[in-house]
Amino acid sequence: MERAGQEILEKQKRFLFPAVITYYSEPLAVVRGKGLCLYDTEGREYLDFFGGILTVIAGHCNDKITDALVEQARTLQHTSTLFLTAPQVELAEKLAAITPGRLQKSFFTNSGTEANETAIQIARAYTGRHEVVALRHAYSGRSALAMSITGQYAWRTGGPGLPGIVHAHSAYCYRCPFEKTYPDCELVCARDMEEMIRTATSGQLAAFIAEPIQGVGGFITPPKEYFLIVAEIIRKYGGVFISDEVQTGLGRTGGKWFGIEHWGVQPDILTMAKGLANGLPAGATIAAPEIADSLKGLTISTFGGNPVSARAAKATIDLIESEGLLENARVVGQYLRERLEELQDKHLIIGEVRGMGLMQGVELVRDRKAKQPAVEEIRRLMDLAKNNGLILGKGGLYGNVIRISPALTCTRRDVDDAIRLLDRSLSQLQQA
């Protein structure tokens, strides 16, 4: 690493919490981004197929979004929610229009964590109950409550979680906890929900919170029946359905605005963040009116609905609409999937390719039968890909899943470039 990068690294080590993890054996210092590309301190170009963490949904420094937020930054940057602002209500109106069903009223925050906190808070206020069902392999954020909902031990730092939260099985078919195979399994993972509620809760639920595709969990994608079955059981026990769309929202899964729309279930509350403002801090919780109205008393989010973030978010949604990016994510996502499956035919280390739209995961295993997670290998692969100019994400309980999630502006040519670089990196991994 040359001097500018070295200086950043040294300061990071001295002045930041060491728990702030970075990718790569030699961390990458980034100075600039444009479209699907990132540039490091030496001016080297990287094809960004992780997009922040599925955050830069319309590409780095998109001109239209930048123009909108710069104009807003010159006009009014902050008021807090104690005052009325047009950007906040215009964003809320737009979210009500693009979210499914009766979702109508929004509460704005700064992150996915807070969006999920708010969702649980209003679900409890609405039902007058406390207990929450979450899913194994979930990731929900870093507050005490969000960590307690998270279903991966590595992200639950700080000891035992909060009471009143239980974790049901997610549909991780590649590593089915019941050792069954879809569809012969008859969705035993989903049907187990009822026994879980009857044995591990009081049967009086406030909410069920789930990601339509589990993001940090390694893009775990359930069969189409899974959410229909679990939603019915949850509602039977009085719980409201919270769809955590922090990763799957805003067109990421292709063809639809939100991931849950693929599964035919109507959520009562939906949360989003990440891609919402194309990388600026913004979180939103949108709920059916009677649920939103049930929160009484005082609440405030100082930076929530911030005019600059809200303008950027509205501009991001407008751009996704005007440039047909939902359809692009579907078509290019399908192409990406086909190309990844070609790589699977060629490289034995690829155990499974899964996902939807421009959210595709590649699970790496030491051998395809025993499915032993290729943990060390993925570390080396990430380094090799970076050195070849390709940025990928990583996830999964075992940390052996490549997460691929470029901006929705991604073209087939970008996919071809990424596949070429990934293919080369996988071949180098084998040779090493």
Nearer to ligand PMP, 62 or 113 (CB): 113
Question: Residue 109 and residue 141: Cα distance in Å, rounded?
Answer: 13
Between residues 155 and 182, which has the closer beta carbon with respect to ligand PMP? 155
Q: Could you tell me the smallest distance in angstroms from the CB atom of residue 275 to ligand PMP?
A: 11
Nearest-approach distance from CB 402 to ligand PMP, in angstroms: 16
Which spans of this chain sit near ligand PMP (rule: CB under 6 A)?
Answer: 53, 111-113, 116, 139-142, 211, 215-216, 244, 246-247, 273
Q: What residue number has its CB nearest to ligand PMP?
A: 112
Taking the CA atoms of residue 373, residue 377, residue 383 and residue 386 in that order, the dihedral angle to the nearest 10 degrees is: -70
CA separation for the pair 4, 43 (Å, rounded) = 11
Query: Closer to ligand PMP at the Cβ: 48 or 244?
Result: 244
C-alpha 167/C-alpha 132 separation (Å) is: 9
Shortest distance in whole angstroms from residue 150 CB to ligand PMP: 9
Residues in the chain: 432
Taking the least distance from each CB to ligand PMP, the nearer of 173 and 216 is: 216
Q: How far is the CB of 212 from ligand PMP (least distance, A)?
A: 10
Q: How far is the CB of 282 from ligand PMP (least distance, A)?
A: 9
From the CB of 65, what's the least distance to ligand PMP, in Å? Answer: 18
By beta-carbon proximity to ligand PMP, the closer residue of 281 and 389 is 281
Pick between residue 127 and residue 247 the one whose CB is nearest to ligand PMP: 247
| CA–CA dist 427, 216 (Å, integer) | 26
Considering the complex, what minimum distance in angstroms separates the CB of residue 103 from ligand PMP? 17
* Residue of 271, 189, 269 whose CA lies nearest to 230: 189
Compute and round to an integer the Cα radius of gyration of the chain: 21
**Minimum gap (Å) between residue 308 Cβ and ligand PMP:** 17
